[in-house]
Amino acid sequence: MALYHYRAIDANGKIAKGETDAINEFDLESQLSKSGLELIKANPVKDRAHTLRKLARRDLIHFMFQLEMLFRAGVPILSILADLRDTAETPQIKNLCANLYEKIDSGSTISEALAANPGIFPDLVVNLVHAGEATGQLPDVLKEIVESLKWQDELASKTKQLLMYPAFVTIVVGSVVVFLMIYLVPQIIGFVANMGGEIPMQTVALIWVSDAFVNYWWLIIPAP
């Protein structure tokens, strides 16, 4: 599969230019036709580096879910990848589908094509897909992979929430302490001082802390 730079025209006569992956010019023409464009000219882009970016966990879940549903429906793998590539909503998914299509079309198995992208597909996923291919239970294996990825996503989300709660409490408590030391405590201390008499040691310590907050807050607040 190659990257083509194309020039096309729509039904209103407007010229469109762009780049997209395609098996050949006939495939490119078919892709553009689905978008309401008629191919005028196409040139393959030379020296193109095929680098794939890591997918977000939820994008990977969505991709594997679609793969499982279409595979269970009996759609051939190359047709699945071509369809997902043509309907991809993000460049990452589009490039991934094109990459897998190219490898499988060249003779690789699905697991081998996945293994060629270790930054996207974990070893566990690759090994499970390989087992599914060997046993003929690939749709069921893909379903289990999707469920496992969903569980991991939910666990990560809950963990993030748990970590955020202590941080939120710390910020609230810190804000209250700062308010007390900078605003409220000086007023109370002034009231106590005006009453006369000896000031208790605890109050003296509180005065010292309050003064530190008032005069050196710019050093105290950023401190961990």
pLDDT digits (tens, 9 = 90+) for 60-69: 899 999 999 9
What are the beta bridge partners of residue 22?
2
Q: What is the structure's pLDDT at 49?
A: 45
57-154: in CATH 3.30.1360.80: no
pTM over 0.75: no
Q: In the chain, what are the domain boundaries?
A: 2-44, 57-154, 164-220
Residue bearing tokens 């996945």: 114
CB 8 within 8 A of CB 31: no
Give the residue among 221, 208, 136 at the shortest CA–CA distance from 177. 221
pLDDT digits (tens, 9 = 90+) for 58-111: 888 999 999 999 999 999 999 999 898 888 888 788 888 888 988 898 899 999
How far is C-alpha 180 from the geometric centre of its chain's CA atoms? 41
- Please, how many CA atoms are within 13 Å of residue 8, restricted to the half-sphere of its CB? 23
What is the pLDDT of the chain when averaged over all its residues?
Answer: 79
- Looking at this protein, which amino acid is placed at residue 111? S
